[in-house]
Amino acid sequence: MSLILSEAEPNELRDESDFEAIFSDSDYISVCGYGSLLSERSARSTFPELINFRIARLNNFRRVFGVIAPIFFEHDIAKPETKEISSVFAEPCEGETIIITVFEIKKFEIPAFIEREFAFRFLTVLPETLDGKLYHKPAVLCSRSTDEEFFQVKCKGNKDIFLQYYGRHNVDKIWRDDILPCRVYLRHCILAAKGVDDVAYNNILDHTFLGDRCTTIREYLVTNGSSIMEEEPPKSLKFRYGG
């Protein structure tokens, strides 16, 4: 199987064989981080053996808070009563640019990576350095999917599998435009970006949107910021979501 990387139209990686086709000449795959993985400490809590953690830029993508993450319910930081239950995803958007991190993980970690990010669509992208030099090798980005694709592909059309992931949390739709960021998670992402540098910090405020694709996080924080930034993570997430 041959996959041809295109900067204009990123390839989708649907299974392990697609990953192997792209990264067949290396023992590592490159992964993009744009939310919690902006923090190297947080990234290492998931990928302890990662290497070459660095900052990059990805053109023609934006961040959006519009996907439900089961981990927020499992650790009791989701607030369904106020719809503050959303994690973040990246999606193509002409003219937008996001500051990301890129790092390498070993190829044997691919199955665990796919399972960890089970709700997402995996795309190959070509980030660039902050001084504008395009990467020569692709990196994997977790991007927006759909409820139909998740149910038919990831759950194989099996309602019991969907129940295992989401139904037990009374969630029947996971990609939504009417939900708000999980407070603890948003705080973590903002602190993680601030820990990188001012460019990354301002970028996450101005190039990350609510599900309406209009309201930036900077605008959202005007009315919610003081309380959100004081929202401490529970002990179970203290290290992982500590910024």
Which option is the CATH number for 12-145+173-225: 1.10.3720.10, 3.40.50.300, 1.10.287.3510, 3.10.490.10? 3.10.490.10
Q: Is the pLDDT of residue 6 over 50?
A: no
- The whole-angstrom separation of Cα 90 and Cα 17 is 23
What's the pLDDT score for residue 224?
A: 75
Percent of the chain with pLDDT over 90: 78
Output DSSP code: residue 25.
Answer: T
Q: Is the pLDDT of residue 142 over 90?
A: yes
Q: Is the pLDDT of residue 44 over 70?
A: yes
Dihedrals φ, ψ of 192, to 5°? -65, -45
Output DSSP code: residue 52.
Answer: E
What is the arithmetic mean of pLDDT over 104-130? 94
Least confident of 3-7, 156-160, 187-191, 233-237: 3-7
* SS3 letters across 37-88: HHCHHHHHHHCCCCEEEEEEEEEEEEEEEEEECHHHHHCCCCEHHHCEEEEE
- For residue 209, list its beta bridge partners: 64, 216
What's the pLDDT score for residue 47?
A: 94
Least confident of 10-19, 26-35, 203-212: 10-19
What's the pLDDT score for residue 9?
A: 64
The CA-atom distances, in angstroms, between 8 and each of 5, 62, 78, 95, 142 are 9, 15, 36, 12, 17
**pTM, two decimal places:** 0.91
The pLDDT tens digits of the residues spanning 152-184 come to: 988 999 999 999 889 889 999 999 999 999 999
Output DSSP code: residue 154.
Answer: I
Q: Do residues 15 and 87 make contact, with C-beta atoms less than 8 angstroms apart?
A: no
Least confident of 79-88, 180-189, 207-216, 232-241: 232-241
Q: Do residues 54 and 118 make contact, with C-beta atoms less than 8 angstroms apart?
A: no
Amino acid at 204: I
Virtual torsion, Cα 177, 182, 183, 184, nearest 10 deg: -150
Output DSSP code: residue 233.
Answer: P
- pLDDT category of residue 3 using cuts at 50, 70 and 90: very low
- The percent helix, strand, coil of the chain (3-state, each to 5) is 35, 30, 35
